[in-house]
Structure 1
Amino acid sequence: MKKLQQYIVVDDDRTNNLICEYVIKDWDPQARVQLFLEPELALKNIEENHKDFGFPVLLFLDVNMPSMSGWEFLDIFKTFDDDIKKSFVIYILTSSTEDFSREAEEYPFVSGFLSKPLKKKYLENIELEMEAISE
């Protein structure tokens, strides 16, 4: 049985955000999904409201955004208190074909990379990984 989770999607592409919300809600109708077009607003929300989230929070982050890249987002995120960071499971969700393995080494709290669009099988695999970790 799936656990109720909080999901955050940070992507400047409205269409991708709607796809993510649809896939998440189809997979888990009870999920709480927050969509952010601006990474700065997502960071502010996380910092100010993290105590109100159900844990763990699954965050999908785009790399290429105009106002702040996903890497810049992660640079700020890594300055947050450990109690905030350990409550998040972060996946880079990107349409880029670049190999980001070198950049990812700077962010050990990033769990992996997924190709857009979000798919139900990604969520199933993430759930399995999270269950294995919690056992």
Structure 2
Amino acid sequence: MLPVILLVDDDPTTNFLSTRLLKRLGVGEEIVVALNGFEALQQLQQRCFVGEAVGSACPDLVLLDVNMPVMDGFEFLEAYQQLPAEQRRNTLVVMLTTSMLATDRQRAEQLPVADFLTKPLTREKLATVLRQHFDIELP
């Protein structure tokens, strides 16, 4: 089954290119875009409801930028950890950022982040994440 993917980035060009790549490769069941961490948190709270169909529309993969207005990637992750376990149990978070700062990478290692990738999202980077975490091989 293909993952539901949540792109969290304030840059429309990055969102366009990442969405285009994901659609071209046919790897997302659904691709949802949030422009900052606050919108992403709202998406998770709305989609990852608790009840009979827990996680039915919940994103499987979050591609998260670091530097965004309103709520940055780290603020999102801190708030994300406060969500009920049912709302985050099957969601994998991968940082996708232009940040090359060692401090950002170290900070990410202390939070629930599966990987730390630099932009742009490429077929190779995506293939690695899908293979390692979802057992999906790109054609």
TM-score range, shorter chain: 0.7 to 0.9
Q: What is the identity, as a one-letter code, of the residue corresponding to 2:105?
A: S
Distance 1:69 1:27, change over 3 A: same
Among 20, 26, 37, which residue is 2:18 paired with? 20
- Report matched runs for 1:1-135 at 5 Å: 3-28=1-26, 31-50=29-48, 51-53=55-57, 57-99=60-102, 100-107=104-111, 109-131=112-134
- Deviation, structure 1 residue 45: 1.4
Listed as ranges, the gaps of 5+ residues in structure 1 are none
Higher relative contact order (CA 8 A, sep 6+): 1
- Deviation, structure 1 residue 130: 1.8
3-state SS in 1 of match to 2:114: strand
Q: If the length of structure 2 is used for normalisation, what is the TM-score?
A: 0.83
The number of aligned residues is 128
Listed as ranges, the gaps of 5+ residues in structure 2 are 49-54
State which drifts further: 77-86 or 59-68.
Answer: 77-86
Distance 1:119 1:15, change over 3 A: same
Give me the identity figure in percent.
28
Q: If the length of structure 1 is used for normalisation, what is the TM-score?
A: 0.85
Cα RMSD of the aligned pairs, angstroms, is 1.8
